[in-house]
Amino acid sequence: MAFVRNAWYLGAYAREIVAGQLFPRTLLGDAVVFYRDDAGKIVALADLCPHRFASLHRGQLSGNDVECAYHGLRFGPSGECTFNPHGSGKIPATARVRTYPVEVKYDRVWIWMGDSELMDRSKLPKLDHFESPAMRTLDGLMKINAHYVLALDNLMDLSHTQFIHKEFLASDYLRGTLDVQDEGEGVLVSVWIPNGSAPPNFKLVMKNPDEPVDHWIETRWFSPATVTIDFGTTAVGAPRSEGIFSIGVHIVTPETESSSHYFYANSRSFALDDPTVDEQRRTFQERAFREQDGPIIENCFQNMGTGDLFSLQPVLLSSDAGAIRVRRRIESMVADEARAFAGTGVHA
Ligand code: FES
Ligand SMILES: [Fe+2]
């Protein structure tokens, strides 16, 4: 299953790109090197010297430029060769590397992996709760050896929380009302579970953990690879605004056809300054994402050998509705891009 290219993907946390250092990361199959210029602005170049194809990240920074480790050509932030130490020093016209548009938003580095001319800042994700003083966020990054769309499948069908994550998230989810719909350009899966038991993660901070609650989960997919999960409880019959909630943000950037960078974050509306709750949430992220989701997704991908689920004629369940809708949307965006690239359709 091909990737949507004309889109913003999360390339790195801004903190990963340290002044004076070259930071390589493969994204959508492209080797990319990030660095900060003299003013601290983040630059992304193809991580490949056009001379003998050494990886540029093996070189070093020289002011605003990257100097290739092998024969010393230097390339600047716009990709042009700025220095040739050989012969007359003339710079060959072909001595340039691809650059990628980058934007820093929410302390995260977003990279446009397609045609720079189609770059559209209005399509950057809107995740303003990251900046809210009323939320406490803990985040992290893990690698998953699977096609990224399997991670999206996992997120769009949270019925798996009742099985693989039951120690943290078991509730009366399976008797809740599931609703799947388009929401703007995204997809929303919502589950409403009235008068049921709270998940263990929430019981930890409830005064009366055994009291029934109204519980909601709203999972939103935003193209191409961001999923937010609004997960909360309130007293039975009380408005949601009186309850407590957390917002999970899961952003999965393909590394290759068979591996992904999985950026996760959890922001909560309660116990903001409580280190014990931080610890509980960290444990949840470590166990649920790294030890439960990651390995089962990798297991499925190994057995499937492809990201193309439908080619394997899988059994489909009612809980798959959100994941299928997202897959169809991605497939149609990929097809639009392929048509535009072939010059047979409207330019995407
Ligand atoms: S490979 Fe980079 S200068 Fe030769
Ligand atoms: Fe999960």
Closest ligand 1 atom, CA of 69? 2
Residues near ion ligand 2 (Cβ under 5 Å): 293
> What does the pLDDT read at residue 344?
56
> What does the pLDDT read at residue 342?
84
Residues 6+ apart with CB under 8 A from 19: 36, 40
| Residue of minimum CA distance from atom 4 in ligand 1 | 71
> What does the pLDDT read at residue 185?
87
> What does the pLDDT read at residue 348?
41
What is the rounded CA–CA span in Å between residue 236 and residue 238?
6
> What does the pLDDT read at residue 341?
84
Model confidence, pTM: 0.95
Q: Please tell me whether residue 111 adopts helix, strand or coil conformation.
A: strand
> What does the pLDDT read at residue 346?
47
Residue 54 near residue 66, CB atoms below 8 Å? no
Dihedral sign of CA atoms 102, 108, 114, 115 in order? negative
Residue 10 CA to ligand 2 center (angstroms) comes to 20
What is the rounded CA–CA span in Å between residue 29 and residue 255?
6
Of 247, 228, 239, the closest CA to residue 189 belongs to 228
Please tell me the number of the ligand nearest to residue 165's CA.
2
| Residue of minimum CA distance from atom 1 in ligand 1 | 52
> What does the pLDDT read at residue 140?
97
Mean pLDDT split into 10-residue runs, the chain, 348 residues: 95 98 98 97 98 98 97 98 98 97 98 97 96 96 98 98 96 96 95 96 91 97 97 96 95 98 96 95 95 98 96 97 97 94 60
What is the rounded CA–CA span in Å between residue 139 and residue 9?
17
What is the rounded CA–CA span in Å between residue 145 and residue 224?
19
- For residue 86 and ligand 1, the question of a CB distance below 6 A is answered with no
- For residue 51 and ligand 1, the question of a CB distance below 6 A is answered with yes
CA 277 remoteness from chain centre: 24
Residue 105 CA to ligand 2 center (angstroms) comes to 26
| Residue of minimum CA distance from atom 3 in ligand 1 | 71
- For residue 68 and ligand 1, the question of a CB distance below 6 A is answered with yes
User: What stretches of the chain show up as alpha helix (H) in DSSP?
Assistant: 148-156, 166-169, 200-203, 275-284, 294-304, 321-341
User: What stretches of 128-249 show up as alpha helix (H) in DSSP?
Assistant: 148-156, 166-169, 200-203
Q: How far apart are the first and last CA of the chain?
A: 18
- For residue 58 and ligand 1, the question of a CB distance below 6 A is answered with no
Residues 6+ apart with CB under 8 A from 308: 1
What is the rounded CA–CA span in Å between residue 249 and residue 264?
6
> What does the pLDDT read at residue 1?
80
- For residue 73 and ligand 1, the question of a CB distance below 6 A is answered with yes
* Number of Cβ atoms within 10 Å of the Cβ of 107: 12
